Structure 1
Amino acid sequence: MFFEIDLNIIPKVRYIGHVTYNFPWIHFERVIDEFILYIIESGEMYIEEDDKKHHLLPGDCFLLEPNKLHRGYKEACCSYYFIHFKHSSLTKSSLNKNNICDYLLEARTNSLSSDIFSESISTSYSSYYPKMFTIKNETLLSEISSILTSAIDYYNSKLEHYKLTSSIKLLEVLILIIREFISDEKNLSINKSPKSSYLTNSLLNYLNRKYLIKITSELIEKEFELNYDYMNRVFKKNTGFTIKNYVNVVRINKAKEILATTSCKVREAGYLVGIDNPYYFSRLFKQITGTSPLKYIKSLNIK
């Protein structure tokens, strides 16, 4: 099951916290008029919602719905985060999982190819959140734990706007879970090895750091100790770009930043992003942005 959510709307946190039961405990029975997000840190929880039983384990993120009876059905030790919140645009989706994955994958591709200086958003704020999702990535679990701990600290401080600050932290967590969901689904849908997502992220980090140097297939093979054609296929399936195309997009976006914020000339901007040939730079700039570097500068009203 999935919920359609408008990520441009901040959820309204009413109550947030973390609890640890070191002795067997069973969840009490209730009906409540708000969403509750449980993220299991350790142990296990046995919870039933509208007669459907769920056995939650570490890494599980489970969203309880408003106005539905939920209660425990078995005792267990458990440590978990809980967030009670309302959201004016979080509703059940009628789309199936495949359609939702296609939508989110397209959003990922659009975001990666977006112009960081454009005022328009790279992807729609409309997204989809899974009712139940298991986070297997230990690094992400640690990151979410840190965010929620910070949110709880803000909440408990009761300083001005403490609920707003906690709500913004919750929105960050929801976005991270959506991102991880589509990354996991992509790995399953194209029958890739479990390491492919890690490889793509490693390539992205490498290319974003090394775009200034001449990046060749030999250099990348030496760096990652893998066949370049294989890496290129995996990278394109994950991002929609070949490695070469992605590097060029990064370089041109950096060049746009230089032209927009400094007095550098076109030739200098090209050199600063690793492109020595000014004619090639201008051609590539127009190919990617649809306009020449000089016209881009004029559009910024730089005098």
Structure 2
Amino acid sequence: MDYFSINGLSRLDVKWSRLYNIDPNFLIPRANPHYELIMVADSPVFIQVGQEKYTLNGGDCLLLLPWEEHFAWKPGGGSFFWVQFSSDPSLELIDAGDNLTSLLKICHTSSNFLRTSTNEHAGKLIIPRLYTPSRRYECLHTFEIMINEFNKPKGYYHYRLNRCLAKLIEISAEDLLDKVMSDINLPASIITYQRLVEILNESYMLECTAASIERMLDRKYEYLCNIFKKYSGITINLYLQQLRIQRAKYLLRETEKSVQDIAFELSFENPLYFSKTFKKLEGLSPSHYRDKFQTLLSAGNPSLTKATAPNLY
């Protein structure tokens, strides 16, 4: 079976939505430039996509790609809801066969737990091409809401349409994720890893010693180092440095605290070690970072925001 991944931050844009009562015209091949999600209201629906023939029953959903030709492969009645939409970035096709285990890495990329993560798979949802949602009545009702919005557009109706589409995709992704989680037993070590990340996120401004971390988790520090490296790809010490430098950049931009005060606030041994660590991770010294930010701010750079400021260079 084919699956698609969609970025959790994708811009979804509903183009059209209707209830289609099948008639003889559906025997004629058709295609459109957008993604199309079909949900059967009255079955059966006989639909062919490319060379693949489907017999869809009530509640079944099928996702079509842009310009994918489809038509009825034999005469029949029935009806289905459909919504055409665009996605930026586009959906990615995943050929995983029937092996849902291969999707687990994308659904639960361990490094995504890290506050400093820039993993490209972070926040991605996985949806199947063909599925029957467990909450099918909720999905059918959502389609009815979408059609009503199209028939009687008012106010921020387009925003509401996109929210409805996002809800349909979320239900599909949750169903698949529930199936993955029920079929696969996650190792106990990943639970320990999650707890360790949580503790580091809460305690990075303090002096996190091996002894204090061992005490909080009741595990040997060597074991904790091993599982952290296994799931995140980096060491505990490096992650603590990343968290502290992430906070330091905010303090350099938004406060007038001295480099020395920031160093001690973030539990660095001394300002010199703080400056060396900052330059190692960011490519410039704390003072240079602050000066560069102030220069751009004074110049009235319209693209300079708190979100973009960390990437000054």
Structure 2-normalised TM-score?
0.54
**What's the CA shift string for 1:243-294, capped at 9, x where partnerless?**
1211110001101100010111101111222224112111111121121111
Shift of residue 205, structure 1, vs aligned partner? 2.1
**What's the CA shift string for 1:29-78, capped at 9, x where partnerless?**
8989753388xxxxxxx9997556899xxxxx9763366579xxxxxxxx
Write the letter of the residue equivalent to 1:277. N
- Unmatched runs of 5 consecutive residues or more in structure 2: 73-80, 299-313
What is the distance in 2 between the residues matched to 1:176 and 1:291? Answer: 45
Shift of residue 198, structure 1, vs aligned partner? 3.1
What is the distance in 2 between the residues matched to 1:242 and 1:133? Answer: 41
Does the CA-based 8 Å contact 1:49-1:64 persist in structure 2? no
Distance 1:249 1:29, change over 3 A: farther
Q: What is the SS of the residue equivalent to 2:37? A: strand
What is the distance in 2 between the residues matched to 1:233 and 1:192? Answer: 20
Find the counterpart in structure 2 of residue 10 from structure 1.
11
Match of 2:239 among 240, 246, 254: 246
Find the counterpart in structure 2 of residue 64 from structure 1.
63
Distance 1:227 1:104, change over 3 A: same
Q: How many residues are paired up?
A: 248
Distance 1:130 1:220, change over 3 A: same
Please give the residue correspondences for 1:278-297 in structure 2 after superposition, counting only pairs within 5 Å: 278-297=271-290
Find the counterpart in structure 2 of residue 163 from structure 1.
158
What is the distance in 1 between the residues matched to 2:224 and 2:214? Answer: 9
- Unmatched runs of 5 consecutive residues or more in structure 1: 17-27, 39-45, 56-60, 71-81, 116-120, 135-140
Shift of residue 87, structure 1, vs aligned partner? 1.9
Distance 1:213 1:49, change over 3 A: farther
Write the letter of the residue equivalent to 1:229. E
Structure 1-normalised TM-score?
0.56
Distance 1:208 1:261, change over 3 A: same
Percent of counterpart pairs with the same letter?
21
Does the CA-based 8 Å contact 1:3-1:91 persist in structure 2? yes
- For structure 1, which segment, 218-227 or 156-165, has the greater mean C-alpha deviation from structure 2 after superposition? 156-165
What is the distance in 2 between the residues matched to 1:112 and 1:180? Answer: 25
Q: What is the SS of the residue equivalent to 1:291? A: coil
Distance 1:84 1:297, change over 3 A: same
Work out whether 1:273 is the aligned partner of 2:260.
Answer: no
Find the counterpart in structure 2 of residue 79 from structure 1.
none
Q: What is the SS of the residue equivalent to 2:4? A: strand
Does the CA-based 8 Å contact 1:4-1:126 persist in structure 2? no
Find the counterpart in structure 2 of residue 227 from structure 1.
220
Find the counterpart in structure 2 of residue 86 from structure 1.
85
What is the distance in 2 between the residues matched to 1:269 and 1:180? Answer: 46
Shift of residue 179, structure 1, vs aligned partner? 11
Write the letter of the residue equivalent to 1:242. T
What is the distance in 2 between the residues matched to 1:112 and 1:176? Answer: 26
Find the counterpart in structure 2 of residue 75 from structure 1.
none
What is the distance in 1 between the residues matched to 2:239 and 2:164? Answer: 31
Q: What is the SS of the residue equivalent to 2:223? A: helix
Q: For the pair shown, which has the larger CA radius of gyration, 1 or 2?
A: 2
Find the counterpart in structure 1 of residue 128 from structure 2.
131
